Amino acid sequence: AQSVTQLGSHVSVSEGALVLLRCNYSSSVPPYLFWYVQYPNQGLQLLLKYTTGATLVKGINGFEAEFKKSETSFHLTKPSAHMSDAAEYFCAVGPRSARQLTFGSGTQLTVLP
């Protein structure tokens, strides 16, 4: 069984500030972890993923995440927020593959001018 908890359903940051979106997971087997972004009325776009290997994963648009097994976390960060980053972000976990994904409840990111 697997589950994902995203702390904070809404996060607001100022333009240029650090973005930190939190994700904790539970998995009985080594997890595959994903971050997706969703803009209004659109599907999901993959930001980054962790499968195996290096625990610091870099993605598109300047985002990165670090897999911390001891903390069962996969937090998403970006050093400097841009207005275009305003969107809904979903963390997801899969048991050793991407075939069975469990999604978190999502975090709405607002970027203030």
Residues that bind other proteins (CB under 8 A): 32, 34, 36, 41-46, 49, 51, 90, 97-99, 101, 103-106, 108
Closest approach of other proteins to the CB of residue 16, in Å: 27
Closest approach of other proteins to the CB of residue 103, in Å: 5
Q: Which is nearer to other proteins, 9 or 80 (CB)?
A: 9
Reading the block at residue 71, the tokens are: 């903390």
Closest CA to 90 of 47, 40, 32, 29: 47
Q: Which is nearer to other proteins, 7 or 17 (CB)?
A: 7
Distance set, CA 109 to CA 27, 94, 103 (Å): 26, 24, 17
